[in-house]
Amino acid sequence: MTTALAEPANVPALKVTQSRVIVSEWIKFRSLRSSVWTLFAGVALLIGLSALISAVTMSQWNDLDANTRATLDPIGAATSGSTFAQLATGVLAILMITGEYTTGMIRASLTVVPRRLPVLWAKLIVFSVVTFLVSLVASFAAFFITQAILSSRDFGVSITDGHALRAVLGLAFYLTVAGLIAMALGALLRGTAAAISTLVAVFLVIPPLVSLLPASISDDLVKYLPNSAGQAMFTVDASNSLSPGGGLLVFCGYAVVLVAVAAWRLRRADV
């Protein structure tokens, strides 16, 4: 007695395309609780610290002299949580790539996508879109909450006043590009601790150290550092800083160079 074996149905081979890799990275992103919680931490820090600083300032209003009141910046109060929010988004970006190196999952990702670079582009795209949209909502929320607090002393401003809208949009873009720089560092160093340490050094340690140099050197150098260049996009009336457009170009230039180097290493080096 013989048994006829059914021939397997013709299943069309699925090609590895950039859009499919992006979908894969999106599934990875939303499947990890750490991604959601880290992103939430960035939002909470941006809104919470800005509101807290504004509330403390208003509670001390009667104790402030006229000169101090004149120098207070209501728009700057809405962006005062940017430093800690930037660290949260930076850690998120680093974990998106170093987490795969830590667990060894990067081998599976690059086996499925042997050209390698689509994996990096997909991570950058998913991170950029999600972070910008979330940061934009958080930035608007921080602005309206802080202005409501400042309005108790008739100190708040409208979103249409002066540079308010530019500051809100610039802050969201700053957090996104800072995250891209962090992801490039993660791709280069391939270790979470090393990448986070480098990120903290670049954004928080090097600027004050440079400011200790003679003024003839530091005044020209500080404004071209990543932190100062990026903050020029949302800072109002900042002395010794680049213009918003100049800061945008310099800050994005850092991101482009680091991403290019990270892409080169991903193509050339072994996993």
Q: Would 3 be classed as within a structural domain?
A: no
Work out how many domains the chain is built from and give that number: 1
Q: Would 15 be classed as within a structural domain?
A: no
Q: Hey, what are 40's tokens?
A: 């939430």
Give the C-alpha separation, 112 to 23, whole Å: 14
Whole-number pLDDT of residue 163? 85
Q: Would 95 be classed as within a structural domain?
A: yes
Q: Would 6 be classed as within a structural domain?
A: no
Whether the full predicted model's pTM is greater than 0.75, yes or no, is yes
Q: 84, 90, 89: which is closest to 52 by C-alpha?
A: 84
**Residues 147 and 157: beta-carbon distance below 8 Å:** yes
Between the alpha carbon of residue 63 and those of residues 6, 67, 68, 177, the distances in Å are: 87, 12, 10, 39
Q: What angle do CA 48, 134, 238 make, to 5 degrees?
A: 65
Q: Would 195 be classed as within a structural domain?
A: yes
DSSP 202: I
- Over its C-alpha atoms, the chain yields an Rg (Å, rounded) of 23
Give the C-alpha separation, 13 to 211, whole Å: 59
Q: Would 4 be classed as within a structural domain?
A: no
**Residues 91 and 40: beta-carbon distance below 8 Å:** no
Q: Would 16 be classed as within a structural domain?
A: no
**Residues 176 and 125: beta-carbon distance below 8 Å:** no
Whole-number pLDDT of residue 1? 44
Give the C-alpha separation, 120 to 187, whole Å: 8
Q: Would 5 be classed as within a structural domain?
A: no
pLDDT less than 70: residues of the chain? 1-14, 238-239, 270-271
**What digits encode the pLDDT tens for the residues 79-106?**
989 999 999 999 999 999 998 888 888 8
Residues spanned by the domain of 27: 21-268
Whole-number pLDDT of residue 158? 87
For 12, other C-beta atoms within 10 Å of its C-beta total 5
Reduced 3-state DSSP string for 216-249: HHHHHHHCCCHHHHHHCCCCCCCCCCCCHHHHHH
